[in-house]
C-alpha cells in the first residue's frame, strides 16, 4: 500500500492528556518505519510544546480522533502551523483486542500515513461562533418547553385540567390564570373570567377545569417555574439579537432558504450555521444528505439488504430539517406535501417524513450552489409527470369501491 505521508502523527485524546504516536521512516532500511509514542498534557502550554515537538520531527500530517469536545484545543493550536485533520471515531475503529490509548494513536498514525482517513468538516471561526449561538438557543428553547411540561404535570397533581381546555397554558390567558393562582385566588369562576379573546367562549369549560386542590406548596413551585421560564425567554431574546448580528455575512443564503415551504427564519439560521452556507465543501447533494443523516444506510450481505436505517449525522441540522419537514407537509398545494402523501400510504409517515427532509436538503444544496430561489413544482407535480398512471390509480380505487368507470375526454358528451 502506498505511503502518502512518510512522517505522520496520530493523536488519541482524553480529558487530561493525549497519547501521540509519531511515525517516521528509518534510515537503515528503505520502506520501514519506526514509531514513538509519548504522553502530553491537555493544557494550552502542553499543546504548544507538542506543536514544537511535531515541527521538530518534520511531521507533515496530524490525525486527531474526535472525542467529545476535548479535541478542540489540540486542533485549534496545532492547525496554526501543521496540516491537521479531524476524523470520526466511528470510521477509525481499531482492531478487536487491541483497544488501548497507545495502540489507538499508532493506528491513527498508520491510517493517516496511507491516506485511509476522511477529514471531518470543521468550519472557520466565524461559523463556529455562529454554531455556538444557534445551538445554545436550541438548548434553551428545549429547556423552556420542558418547564412548560413540568408545570402541566404539577397542575395535574392539583386536579386542575387547564391544558385540556387551553391549547397554550403559557399564553396571555393561561399566564394570567397561573399568576392569579399563585397570588392566592382559588375561585374557579373568577379564574375563568381572566380568559381573553376566543378563549372566553370556553368560560364554562374553564370553570370546570380550574376546579381543584391548589395549595401553597403548588403555588411555590409554579412561581419557580414561571420565573425560570421568564429567565430563559430573556436569554433566548438575547441570543436572537446576537445571532441577527452574526448572520450579517449570510443574508443572501437566508433569503434563499426562506423561499422553501416549511423553513422559517430560525430554521434557516440553524441550517446556515451548521453547513456554513457554502456548498463547495460538499461534492454533491448526496454527500450533504449523508452528512446531515437524512439518507438510508447500506447493510448488504450475501445479496440481501438487512438494514436501511438512516445514518447518524449532524443532530442539530437533522432537527432543523425535521421542523422544516413538519411545516412543509402542512403547506397546501406544494410538491413536498404531495410527496409526503404519496409515500405515506406505502412507506408509513416516519419514512415519508425522512424522504421530505431529503428533498429539502437536496433543494438547499442546489439553491446555495447556483444561488437561485426555490422553484415550486406544485401539488399536482406527480399527476402531471405521469397522467396515465394517475388515471389508472384513480380507476382502480373506484373499482375497489364497486363502481364501473367510463372515461370521456373533456368537451365530449356521453
What is the CATH classification number for the domain harbouring 184?
A: 1.10.287
Verify that 161 and 213 share a domain, yes or no. Answer: yes
Q: Do 359 and 257 belong to one domain? A: yes
- 263 and 226 belong to one structural domain: no
Read off φ and ψ for residue 17, nearest 5 degrees: -150, -175
207 and 285 part of one domain = no
In a domain, 121, yes or no: no
Q: What is the pLDDT of residue 95?
A: 66
Query: In terms of Cα–Cα distance, which of 333, 328, 346, 330 is closest to 382?
Result: 333
**Which of 55, 32, 42, 52 is CA-nearest to residue 11?**
42
Cβ contact 317:275 at 8 Å = yes
pLDDT for 386 equals 84
pTM of the model: 0.84
**255 and 271 assigned to the same domain:** yes
Are 195 and 268 found together in one domain? no
Residues 272 and 341 in one domain: yes
Judge whether 118 lies within some domain: no
What's the pLDDT score for residue 304? 75
Beta strands in 92-222 (DSSP E): none
Residue 376 maps to a domain: no
Q: What's the pLDDT score for residue 65?
A: 87
Q: Are residues 18 and 68 in the same domain?
A: yes
Residues 242 and 176 both lie in one domain: yes
Domain containing residue 211: 126-246
Domain endpoint, select from 90, 113, 136: 113
Say whether both 242 and 133 belong to one domain: yes
Tell me, yes or no, whether 375 lies in a domain.
Answer: no
The pLDDT of residue 390: 83
Q: Is 333 exposed, middle or buried (0-12, 13-18, 19+ CB in 10 A)?
A: exposed
d(C-alpha 195, C-alpha 336), whole Å: 38
At a CB cut-off of 8 Å and minimum separation 6, what does 77 contact?
Answer: 44, 47, 48, 51
Q: Are residues 172 and 277 in the same domain?
A: no
Longest dimension (CA), the chain: 96
- Domain assignment present for residue 3? The answer is no
2 lies in some domain: no
Same domain, 27 and 90: yes
- Domain assignment present for residue 377? The answer is no
Per-residue confidence in pLDDT tens, the chain, 414 aa: 688 888 999 999 988 999 999 998 887 777 788 889 999 999 999 999 999 999 999 999 999 988 788 999 999 999 999 999 999 877 777 666 667 888 888 889 999 988 888 888 888 899 999 999 999 999 999 999 999 999 999 999 999 999 888 888 888 999 999 999 999 988 999 999 999 988 999 999 999 999 989 999 999 999 999 999 999 999 999 999 999 999 999 999 999 999 999 999 999 999 999 999 889 889 999 999 988 988 876 666 667 776 667 777 888 999 999 999 999 999 999 999 999 998 998 889 988 999 999 999 999 999 999 999 999 998 888 888 888 888 888 888 888 888 888 887 776 555
Q: List the alpha helices (DSSP H) in 159-284.
A: 162-165, 172-183, 188-192, 203-209, 216-246, 251-257, 265-275
Q: Is residue 344 part of a domain?
A: yes
Residues 6+ apart with CB under 8 A from 316: 131, 134, 135, 138, 270, 274
* Boundary-marking domain end, from 113, 138, 161: 113
- Count of domains in the chain? 4
- Give the pLDDT of residue 412: 58
Check residue 380 and give its pLDDT: 87
Phi, psi for residue 9 in degrees, rounded to 5: -125, 140
Domain boundary residue among 113, 138, 167? 113
Amino acid at each position: 500500500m502506498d505511503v502518502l505521508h512518510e512522517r505522520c502523527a496520530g493523536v488519541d485524546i482524553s480529558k487530561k492528556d493525549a497519547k501521540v504516536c509519531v511515525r517516521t521512516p528509518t534510515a537503515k532500511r528503505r520502506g520501514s518505519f519506526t514509531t514513538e509514542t509519548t504522553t502530553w498534557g491537555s493544557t494550552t502550554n502542553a499543546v504548544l510544546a507538542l506543536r514544537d515537538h511535531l515541527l521538530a520531527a518534520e511531521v507533515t500530517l496530524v490525525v486527531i480522533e474526535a472525542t467529545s469536545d476535548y479535541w478542540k484545543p489540540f486542533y485549534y493550536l496545532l492547525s496554526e502551523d501543521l496540516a491537521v485533520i479531524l476524523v470520526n471515531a466511528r470510521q477509525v475503529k481499531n482492531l478487536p483486542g487491541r483497544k488501548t490509548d497507545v495502540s489507538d494513536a499508532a493506528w491513527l498514525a498508520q491510517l493517516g500515513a496511507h491516506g485511509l482517513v476522511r477529514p471531518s468538516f470543521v468550519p472557520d471561526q466565524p461559523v463556529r461562533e455562529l454554531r455556538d449561538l444557534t445551538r445554545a438557543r436550541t438548548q434553551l428553547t428545549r429547556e423552556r418547553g420542558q418547564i412548560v411540561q413540568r408545570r402541566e404535570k404539577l397542575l395535574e397533581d392539583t386536579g386542575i385540567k387547564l391544558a385540556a381546555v387551553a391549547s397554550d397554558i403559557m399564553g396571555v390567558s393561561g399566564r394570567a390564570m397561573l399568576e392569579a393562582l399563585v397570588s392566592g385566588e382559588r375561585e374557579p369562576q373568577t379564574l375563568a373570567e381572566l380568559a381573553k379573546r376566543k378563549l372566553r367562549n370556553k368560560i364554562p369549560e374553564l370553570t370546570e377545569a380550574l376546579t381543584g386542590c391548589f395549595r401553597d406548596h403548588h403555588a411555590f413551585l409554579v412561581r419557580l417555574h414561571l420565573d425560570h421560564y421568564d429567565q430563559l425567554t430573556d436569554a433566548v431574546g438575547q441570543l436572537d439579537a446576537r445571532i441577527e448580528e452574526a448572520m450579517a455575512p449570510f443574508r443572501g443564503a437566508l433569503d434563499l432558504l426562506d423561499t422553501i415551504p416549511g423553513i422559517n427564519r430560525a430554521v434557516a439560521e440553524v441550517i446556515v450555521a451548521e453547513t456554513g452556507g457554502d456548498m463547495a465543501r460538499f461534492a454533491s447533494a448526496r454527500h450533504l444528505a449523508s452528512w446531515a443523516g437524512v439518507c438510508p444506510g447500506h447493510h448488504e450481505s450475501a445479496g440481501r439488504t438487512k438494514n436501511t436505517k438512516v445514518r447518524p449525522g449532524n443532530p442539530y441540522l437533522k432537527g432543523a430539517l425535521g421542523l422544516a419537514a413538519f411545516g412543509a407537509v402542512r403547506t397546501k398545494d406544494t410538491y413536498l406535501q404531495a410527496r409526503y402523501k404519496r409515500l405515506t400510504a406505502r412507506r408509513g409517515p416516519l419514512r415519508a417524513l425522512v424522504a421530505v427532509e431529503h428533498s429539502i436538503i437536496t433543494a438547499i444544496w442546489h439553491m446555495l450552489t447556483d444561488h437561485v430561489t426555490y422553484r415550486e413544482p406544485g401539488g399536482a407535480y406527480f399527476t402531471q409527470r405521469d397522467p396515465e398512471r394517475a388515471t389508472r390509480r384513480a380507476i382502480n380505487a373506484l373499482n375497489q369501491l364497486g363502481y364501473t368507470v367510463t372515461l370521456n375526454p373533456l368537451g365530449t358528451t356521453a
